[in-house]
A and B are shown apart, each in its own frame.
Chain A
Amino acid sequence: MRNLLNFLWKNYAIFLFLILETIAFSMVMSSGHQGAVFSYASNQWGGKAFSSYQSIHQYFKLSETNEQLVSENIYLRSQLKQSYLKRDHNSFDDIVIKSETIKPDSIVFYYDTTSLTFEYINATVISNSVNKQQNYLMLNKGYQQGIRENMGVISSQGGVGIVYAVSDDFCTIISLLNTKTNISAKLFSSNELGSLKWDGRNPQIAHLTSIETYIPIHTGDSVVSSGFSHIFPEGVLLGTIKDFYIEASENTYTIEVLLSTKFSQLNQVTIIRNRFYEEQIELERRKAYVP
């Protein structure tokens, strides 16, 4: 017994080392939604520190932020009904059509403006990284502001990521630049579905997979969100095709997508709430039980 204690005492450093490493590795392993304790601590404490830092940092970025906001305003203004040309449809041809029951422009999409599907609130990025394999962002909005897991996040330039963990006042975003992220995307021109993944190397390039080779694609085509994951609305710009090639004995393209968001310069972002997210996910879950 005494020998054993002696042995343990002499080699205590090794045992302490093993204990500490076990604790550390159990943290590494628990990095999922299950690692809630760590992500909450990281969120809440880190958030407090970063938000005071960010308020100083932001001051120096004001002009840049302004520029971005102006350009987004211009874009949004161009989407207004008033910005479209009002065509006078009354012409001699119309007289002929009016005599029939169906008018060519009688198909109207009905938007229910009283209940929006997607709602937007702004948030400020308080911490960010692009140089790891698993990159996360932290925003200054949390549970108390109505943020929940699995809400989409976009910037004025395009898609950014998905809300991953929420604490009282802050939330963590799993960035597009994360090897675990997988976003349902499509080609704007042909509506062809694929999924967007990052391989952990260049922070400007992601890869679009599962587009079959018989579909014609071109460099410069836009890649947008499909809207099928119920997180992003349809058509949020994610990037443009930079390069594509077909590897031997593959029937899908390998497509390099130049991401439209400059992740290293992110400052102001928008969080998207889908009011029907729970309902849609519940419905999708139900189909799993169909015999």
Chain B
Amino acid sequence: MFLRNILRFLFVILIQVFVLNQIQFSGYINPYYYIIFILLLPIKTPAWLGMGLAFLLGFTIDIFSQSPGIHTASSVFIAFIRPSIILSLKTSSEINKDLEPNMGNMGVKWFISYTIIMIILHHTLYFFIEVFSFTSFINTIYRILISSIVTFITIIVAQLLTYNKIQK
């Protein structure tokens, strides 16, 4: 479990920095796939560890995308809010806390709603910090929506690839 998360940490950084950041779709589409690492941390991960890892992950992505502090702030935020979202989506008695909340363990429907909430929270914070004003409000909302959809697709596709393995 431990090793697996370390490998995933490195993997999402590589994918984000060297693949997704390099593809310049248009001015509006910026998928931030790396947050899948925060989504898939085991449920029992203590708050300090979750936020610490999110800080480290966000800071690394910031270093490589020359956006000082923006990814860090939004990653730490979703890591902080994550336990409450997991609890609110399902009562705590139903959850086996040793598991990681992926599609296979939690069910497709649960995972999709969990992912959507986390992505929207992260992207809203990210794009508003990036613009740092409410002047181009509609434009920012548009960027958030488009990018959230693409991030969602990348995360679901990544899950489906591993989900099949679990089923076999």
Question: A-side interface residues toward B, CB under 8 Å?
Answer: 12-13, 16-17, 20-21, 23-31, 35, 38-39, 41-42, 45-46, 49-50, 53, 57, 127-134, 136, 138, 172, 199-203, 263-264
Residues of chain A within 8 A (CB-CB) of B64 are 42, 46, 49-50, 127
Q: Per-position contact with A for B1-41: 1 when CB-CB < 8 Å, else 0?
A: 00000000000000001100110111111100000000000
In the complex, the answer to whether B129 meets A13 with C-beta atoms within 8 Å is no
A128 and B25 CA atoms in complex are apart in Å by 13
In the complex, the answer to whether B58 meets A133 with C-beta atoms within 8 Å is no
In the complex, the answer to whether B65 meets A129 with C-beta atoms within 8 Å is yes
In the complex, the answer to whether B63 meets A41 with C-beta atoms within 8 Å is yes
Say which residue of A16, A31, A133 sits within 8 Å of B131 (CB atoms). Answer: A133
Chain B contact-residue range equals: 35 or more
Smallest CB-CB A-B distances: 3 pairs: A27-B69, A24-B73, A13-B47
Given the known A-B contacts A17-B80, A131-B29, A200-B136, are A26 and B69 also in contact in the complex, defined by CB atoms under 8 Å? yes
A17 and B67 CA atoms in complex are apart in Å by 20
Q: How far is the CB of A58 from chain B (nearest CB, A)?
A: 12
* 14 A-B residue pairs with CB within 8 Å: A20-B51, A20-B76, A21-B73, A24-B55, A27-B72, A29-B69, A31-B69, A129-B21, A130-B27, A132-B65, A132-B130, A133-B131, A138-B66, A203-B27
* CB-CB nearest in chain A for B18: A53
A28 and B72 CA atoms in complex are apart in Å by 9
Q: Per-position contact with A for B76-101: 1 when CB-CB < 8 Å, else 0?
A: 11001000000000000000000000
Give 17 A-B pairs besides A27-B69, A45-B63, A201-B139 with Cβ atoms closer than 8 angstroms. A13-B51, A13-B80, A23-B72, A24-B73, A25-B69, A28-B70, A46-B66, A50-B64, A129-B24, A129-B66, A131-B30, A132-B130, A138-B66, A172-B66, A199-B136, A202-B27, A203-B27
Q: How far is the CB of B29 from chain A (nearest CB, A)?
A: 7
Residues of chain A within 8 A (CB-CB) of B130 are 132-134
In the complex, the answer to whether A24 meets B69 with C-beta atoms within 8 Å is yes
A263 and B26 CA atoms in complex are apart in Å by 11
* CB-CB nearest in chain A for B73: A24
Residues of chain A within 8 A (CB-CB) of B30 are 131-132
Q: How far is the CB of A284 from chain B (nearest CB, A)?
A: 29
